Amino acid sequence: MPRAVRLRERLRAALGDEGGASPVEFVLVGTLLTLLTLGVLQLGLALYVRNVVHDAAVEGAFYAALADTSLAEGAARTARIVERTVGAEYAADVAVRETSALGHAAVEVTVRAPFPLVGLLGVPGLMEVSADAPLESLD
C-alpha cells in the first residue's frame, strides 16, 4: 500500500474519532453560560445603581422643595445618599434648579453618573436621571 494512501486512511480515522469531544464541549458551553450569567448579574447591578441614583434624586428634590431649605441643601442631600450607597464617583455631578415642569413652581434635581459596565466601573456621565418635586411655600 502506498504511503499516501496509508496517511489518508489514518487521517480519516483520526478525524472520524469523537473521543475527547465531551471535555471540549463542556468547556465551550461552560464558558458561554458563565458569560451569560455574568452579563445578567451586571445588568442587575446597573439597574440597581440607576434606581438608587434616581431615588436619591427624588429624595433630594423633595428636600430642596421644602419651604425652609435651599436648593444647595437638596443637592447636598442627594450627593450624600448616592455616596453612601454606590460611591463618591456617582455623586460628582448633581444639579438642582427651579422649574415650572409640573405646571407650577417646582424643583428639579438632575444627577449625571457613570453607567456601570464592569462591576461599578463605567463610562462617566453616560447615565442621567432627574426628579421633580412641587415647591413648597409659606404663602
For 30-75, what is each residue's pLDDT tens digit? Answer: 999 999 999 999 999 999 999 999 999 999 999 999 988 999 999 9
CA 111/CA 71 separation, integer angstroms: 14
CA 88/CA 82 separation, integer angstroms: 7
Q: What pTM was estimated for this model as a whole?
A: 0.79
Q: Which residue has the higher pLDDT, 108 or 16?
A: 108
For 11-14, the CB contacts below 8 A with 24+ separation are none
DSSP state of 89: G
In this structure, of 3-12, 65-74, 94-103, 128-137, the range with the lowest mean pLDDT score is 3-12
DSSP state of 105: S
